[in-house]
Structure 1
Amino acid sequence: MLYVFLIMNLIAFTVFGLDKWKATHHKRRFSEFSLLILTFLGGTVGAILAMMIFRHKVSKKSFLWKFGIIILIQILLFYFLNLKY
């Protein structure tokens, strides 16, 4: 399980960084939906690190709202799944 977590965060970090590079070079980019799905599927830490390091998507309020909602959903899922066990 730890390896899956590490791989998902590495993928998210890489994709966020690549998307920032594509944005600065006027290339075709990843959709916000793709970035948010990567985050939801376990890449939250990698996404946050990439956002801070690359300064990517940090000024786009609509993205930050969606990102925050995903983090809230993950916290609630983690909480309720841990209550079950």
Structure 2
Amino acid sequence: MTAQDPLLITAVFAINTIVFLLYGYDKQQAQRREWRISERVLLLSSIAGPFGAFAGMQFFRHKTKKTIFLLSIPLFLLMQVAGFLLLIGWTW
């Protein structure tokens, strides 16, 4: 499997889209003062979809003051970018 594999690209896009929507849904639920998605689930989903998490935080203005999110989401982003660079065989 390579970084250019259409299945991999589709999966990464789908996962990040779902994570983005999770952040939007949780923000909506917070505004309605209804049942919320736990921070643990949001963070764990962010490991798989950090681009969606980052976009969701910015677009929905959600979890932008929580230190754990401010530190972990960029870390997850860097880890995923590094993983893709390794996958395509980029050397430092």
Shared topology, TM-score over 0.5? yes
- Match of residue 47 from structure 2: 40
Query: How do 1:1-85 and structure 2 match up within 5 A?
Result: 1-41=8-48, 43-78=49-84
Alignment RMSD (CA, Å): 2.1
Quote how far apart the aligned CAs of 1:57 are: 0.5
Unaligned runs of 5+ in 1: none
Q: More helix per residue: 1 or 2?
A: 1
Unaligned runs of 5+ in 2: 1-7
Task: Report the TM-score when normalising by structure 2.
Answer: 0.73
**Number of equivalences:** 84
CA separation in 2, counterparts of 1:5 and 1:73? Answer: 14
| Structure index of larger Rg | 2
Give identity over the alignment, percent: 32
Task: Report the TM-score when normalising by structure 1.
Answer: 0.78
